[in-house]
Amino acid sequence: MNQKNNRHSFEEYAYISDLVAFYGNILDIRSREMMKRYYFDNASYEEIARDHHISRQRVHQIISQHRDILREWESTLHFLEFIEQIRQLMLKYRDQSPALVKDLEKLLEKTTRGV
C-alpha cells in the first residue's frame, strides 16, 4: 500500500487537493499532471519520477514548489474561501429560498467543476 508522507495532516492534504482541483488548470501541463497524480491518484514520488523520467528528488521539488504557489494564489485571491462561504449560505437558506439555492448551485458547478 502506498503511504503518503506523514508530515502533512489529512486536513492539509485535503486542502491542497482542493487547491489543485480549483487552480490546477493554471499550472503548466507537466506540473499539473504531477500534482494530480500525487493528490488524486495517490501516486508516490517514485512512481511519478518513473513516469516523467526524472529523479524522485526533482518530483519532490516540483510538488513542494507548486504546493506553495497554490497556497499563495489562494491567500491572495481567496476563491476557495469565498466558495465555502457561499456553500454555507446555501445550507442556511435552502428551506427559505430553494429557487435561489438551486441557481447558486448551478453557478458554483460552473465555477468549481468538482472542487
pTM: 0.77
Give tens-digit pLDDT for 22-65: 999 999 999 999 999 999 999 999 999 999 999 999 999 999 99
pLDDT at residue number 111: 77
34 and 48 Cβ atoms separated by less than 8 Å: yes
pLDDT for the residue 8:
63
Per-residue burial over 90-113, b if 16 or more Cβ lie within 10 Å, else e, is: beeeeeeeeeebeebeeeeeeebe
Per-residue model confidence (pLDDT) at position 115: 58
Domain for residue 68, yes or no? Answer: yes
Phi-psi region at 43: left, alpha or beta (left = phi > 0; alpha = psi -120 to 50) = beta
Domain around 44: 10-77
Three cell numbers at 35? 500534482
| Residue 16 shares a structural domain with residue 56 | yes
Task: Give the CATH number, domain containing residue 18.
Answer: 1.10.10.10
The pLDDT-based confidence of 72 (bands split at 50, 70, 90) is very high
Instruction: Note whether 57 and 84 are same-domain residues.
Output: no
